[in-house]
Structure 1
Amino acid sequence: MRLTLRQLQIFLAVADHGSTMAAADAVALSQSAASAALKELEGLLGIHLFDRIGKRLILNDNGRMLLPQARQMLDAAATMEAQFHQPDAADAVGLRIAASTTIGIYLLPHMLAHFAQHSASVPQVTIANTRAVAAAVAAFDVDVGLIEGPCHEPELRAEPWLADELVVVCAPHHPLAARDGKVPLADLRQAGWLLREVGSGTREAVEHALLPHLHMLHSAGEFSNAEAIKHAASAGLGLACLSRLVVADLVESGRLVELRTTLPRLQRHFYLIHRRNKLLSARLEFFMQFCRDWAN
């Protein structure tokens, strides 16, 4: 076998950066060495992997076919190296995790503080919306993901992790806050709702919970994080349906009120996700088990 990991590394660098010059900088090689390695790889496979558009190299159909296999092989090689260089499974140095926004801001810091009591280091953390986290796990950019919405990537394994309660809140001076008794569905249908962006797990969970009862949501504003939504709600811009974790502080201080409605109890699940064909190192297994234990 003449195919080398170095050739695959350079192939991925070119795919990510669009040129052999930028790829060479990324992998600390000269441009001539990077170009030669790419040429050798294409020669071994007997195909071209890129189309040249001006000065840029763009993946063609062959390159797109090779891309996930190359990422998988390099990820497995990196996992082997790290596993033997770090024999202590509790040491999370080099471990990469991604969390969707609500988990990453309101839950993960407390988890990692507890994890640090059992480990010499904590993982490197990326926070993004659910869709971006799933994409990062699928591309081997991170080792494991914690998401707050359904996972639609077929190459990922999604394990139900935590149950989360969603509540409907508004400002104390919002007209619906003054209603006696439970707010009926008709009033909720007419209200303006503050929503997360498309691709957010919270947005998908809210739509999944509310649309069967309200049929549509009148948007009063769209925001890229839950923190902005809850402050917009406290300012009176509209209703919000958010995790109890997110709004607990403003409800406690009286800046938000939880509406009593005729809706059923609203719940969603958080999920632990990883690549189906990923080699799970002892460190990754240790961290995932820590997450499972935390849920219990």
Structure 2
Amino acid sequence: MELLQEIAATFAAIKANTPLVHHLTNYVTANDSANITLACGASPVMAADPGEATDMVAKAGALVLNIGTLNAAAVDTMIATGRRAGDLGVPIILDPVGAGATPARTDAAGRIVRETSPAVIRGNAAEIKTVAGLSAAIRGVDSAADEPGGEAVAAGLARRLGCVVALTGRTDIVAGAGRVCRIANGHPWLARVTGTGCMATSLIGCCLGAGASPYAAAVTGLVVMGVAGELAHRSLGPEDGIGTFRVKLFDAVFNLTPELLVSHAKISETRED
């Protein structure tokens, strides 16, 4: 199946199947992650209590792990829930928010990778470089800038871990399964709204929950976010700012169709021999 067909089929499957996506995520962006999940046609749940999280994941189609608001108890819950997901065959997407900013974040991301075997890891260039064991420039939980060599780092990490790596920036890169996709969709205002990276992670989780392969899920989720950002900005009036843009972003995802998504996708792909 051609990649554009995979994207269309994956997005249609979300709306057809309404997968339950379990989030263990950060409190800054939890509401936005829940709403973007609903907007694309899936169903979110945020059961973070240690006594409930491992039971809830048994009902889910995918598990989102996001370390944005880090604490030791939350990481332990993520690992226990991730192990349970692995036993059940529930795919995991990890968002190593701020990995590299502090030793605690770097260690937490490393533990989760080692102990839960995520199907997809999504992060900015600095976070992905940190997970790969390389030095990176990071400020707080934000990458200082897009960094060179991202495609090689993503592809190398994907091969080493046997997973899909989604690196987001001016051009998004998805590497895994002997394939590399470059996604040129998006708008600079996406970087001016808190949580758009977390929302992209949730969208990938929705695609995983709908049964897509990790590679197709990562590509589709990032194309959805990029296209929605373009459409949201295009619909703004002259006096609208980032608050209206944020609301328009949800509207754009809600109103997307597989056909509209494919018609706006700006992707290129290479495959390993």
TM bin (shorter chain): under 0.3
Give TM-score scaled by structure 2 length.
Answer: 0.26
Please state which structure has a larger fraction of its residues in strand.
Answer: 1
Please state which structure has a larger fraction of its residues in helix.
Answer: 2
Give TM-score scaled by structure 1 length.
Answer: 0.25
